[in-house]
């Protein structure tokens, strides 16, 4: 039997920065997708998605010429076929997990990473292919294959695990030695609006940067400093001012957090403050946070959370909070009292 376990992920700093080729800080956490597979005599993959109550088959001789949007199983096969992989033996495959769906913890990317690992394993190359390459192929299958607006953070973090500073332009990752302290994830119960939020934020941010580069072709976003917000702001149309602010300030917050997490004993209060600053920008500038979730996070901070923010693209889904050990119970109660459906502790895993 083939057994594969793949984690969820949290972006702590740098949300809505990866499509601008700016860095992010993200970590893999101990919520998982599990895949079990045994050979079958059929020339097909027979899949059972336990949590969704779905069963379907993929015949091995499918030419994959037409792949419906969101069919990551076939897109994953198509991507690997482009790299010489073949699928000759059928399998019964069962998939389940404890990552909430459509909630910001990247259940879809985790599922796809598990699938890519399975396809690599049945080709006898599990020991030859790097985690980086697994992440790359998962990104190709989820984003590039469908020309979607997302970045590469989810797939690269899930495949490589740990707490990472990711250069989203190259995909190069740097492992951070610091920790985030005690972490709580709260499920809001509100469905995310991933594609709508991502599309708007992506388009507006890119237009803001393009307007600056049109006036000053020498401007390099990767070398931007806080003063550039004021220096070039006059060249940004009013409709894109909020996203111009978010681009420059979130980048600065991410770099500050990186400097702190490069230390073996980071200042958790400083990291919490940076998380709150990041959330304020997401909430007020990118406008990705429903009022209900904002109230939940305010209550969590009042109960003792050091920092709190939405997870993922926004519009709904989960929140993460940094919490002192002696405040865990109080913060859990605060989340639940203001409408959260579930709250649980998580750890970053390597």
pLDDT band at 314 (very low <50, low <70, confident <90, very high): confident
**CATH, residue 166:** 3.30.230.10
Length of the chain: 350
Q: Does 203 score more than 90 pLDDT?
A: no
Same domain membership, residue 197 and residue 132: no
Same domain membership, residue 255 and residue 161: no
Average pLDDT, the chain: 94
Tens digit of each residue's pLDDT (9 = 90 or more) over 125-165 = 999 999 999 999 999 999 999 988 778 899 999 999 999 99
Residue 21: name the closest of 202, 227, 233 by CA: 202
Same domain membership, residue 107 and residue 207: no
pLDDT, position 313: 75
Task: Please state, in angstroms and rounded to a whole number, the distance separating the CA atoms of residues 103 and 108.
Answer: 10
Give 41-76 as a DSSP string: SSSEEEEEEGGGTEEEEEETT---SS--TT-HHHHH
Same domain membership, residue 238 and residue 114: no
Same domain membership, residue 216 and residue 171: no
Average pLDDT, stretch 25-48? 96
Sequence-ordered strand ranges (E) for 134-246: 163-166, 173-175, 183-187
Task: Please state, in angstroms and rounded to a whole number, the distance separating the CA atoms of residues 60 and 90.
Answer: 7
Same domain membership, residue 81 and residue 212: no
Tens digit of each residue's pLDDT (9 = 90 or more) over 56-111 = 999 999 999 999 999 999 999 999 999 999 999 999 999 999 998 888 888 999 99
Percent of the chain residues past pLDDT 90, beyond the cut: 85
3-state DSSP percent of the chain in helix, strand and coil, to 5: 45, 20, 35
Burial of 35 (0-12, 13-18, 19+ CB in 10 A): buried
pLDDT band at 329 (very low <50, low <70, confident <90, very high): very high
**CATH, residue 204:** 3.30.70.890
Boundary of a domain, candidates 148, 175, 202: 175
pLDDT, position 196: 54
Boundary of a domain, candidates 118, 149, 175: 175
Same domain membership, residue 190 and residue 171: no
Average pLDDT, stretch 261-279? 97
pLDDT band at 16 (very low <50, low <70, confident <90, very high): confident
Task: Please state, in angstroms and rounded to a whole number, the distance separating the CA atoms of residues 165 and 257.
Answer: 10
Q: Are 321 and 187 within 8 A, CB to CB? A: no
Could you give the number of structural domains in the chain? 2
Tens digit of each residue's pLDDT (9 = 90 or more) over 276-308 = 999 999 999 998 899 999 999 999 999 999 999
Q: Does 194 score more than 70 pLDDT?
A: no
Q: Does 199 score more than 90 pLDDT?
A: no
pLDDT band at 4 (very low <50, low <70, confident <90, very high): very high
Q: Does 21 score more than 70 pLDDT?
A: yes
pLDDT, position 184: 98
Residues spanned by the domain of 276: 183-346
Boundary of a domain, candidates 112, 146, 175: 175
| Residue 174 vs residue 16, higher pLDDT | 174
């Amino acid at each position: 039997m083939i057994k594969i376990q793949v984690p969820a992920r949290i972006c702590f700093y740098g949300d809505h920065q990866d499509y601008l080729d700016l860095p992010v800080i993200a970590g893999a956490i101990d919520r998982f997708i599990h895949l079990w597979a045994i050979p079958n005599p059929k020339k097909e993959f027979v899949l059972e998605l336990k949590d969704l109550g779905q069963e379907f088959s993929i015949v091995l001789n499918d030419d994959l010429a037409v792949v419906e949007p969101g069919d990551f199983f076939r897109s994953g096969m198509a991507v690997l076929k482009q790299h010489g992989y073949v699928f000759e033996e059928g399998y019964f495959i069962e998939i389940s997990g404890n990552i909430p769906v459509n909630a910001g913890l990247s259940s879809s990317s985790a599922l796809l990473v598990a699938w890519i690992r399975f396809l690599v394993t049945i080709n006898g190359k599990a020991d030859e292919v790097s985690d980086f390459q697994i992440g790359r192929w998962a990104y190709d299958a989820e984003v590039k294959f469908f020309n979607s607006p997302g970045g590469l953070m989810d797939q690269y973090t899930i495949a490589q695990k740990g707490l990472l500073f990711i250069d989203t332009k190259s995909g190069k990752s740097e492992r951070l030695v610091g920790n985030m302290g005690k972490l709580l994830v709260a499920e809001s119960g509100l469905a995310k609006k991933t594609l709508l939020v991502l599309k708007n934020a992506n388009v507006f941010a890119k237009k803001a940067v393009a307007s600056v580069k049109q006036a000053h072709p020498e401007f390099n976003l990767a070398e931007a400093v806080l003063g550039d917000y004021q220096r070039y702001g006059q060249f940004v149309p009013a409709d894109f001012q909020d996203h111009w602010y978010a681009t420059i300030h979130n980048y600065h917050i991410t770099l500050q957090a990186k400097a702190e997490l490069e230390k073996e004993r980071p200042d958790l209060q400083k990291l919490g403050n940076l998380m709150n600053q990041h959330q304020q920008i997401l909430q007020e500038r990118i406008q990705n946070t429903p009022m209900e979730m904002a109230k939940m996070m305010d209550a969590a901070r009042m109960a003792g959370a050091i920092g709190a923010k939405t997870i993922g693209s926004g519009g709904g889904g989960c929140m993460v909070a940094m919490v002192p050990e002696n405040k865990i119970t109080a913060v859990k109660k605060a989340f639940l009292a203001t409408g959260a459906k579930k709250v649980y502790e998580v750890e970053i895993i390597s």
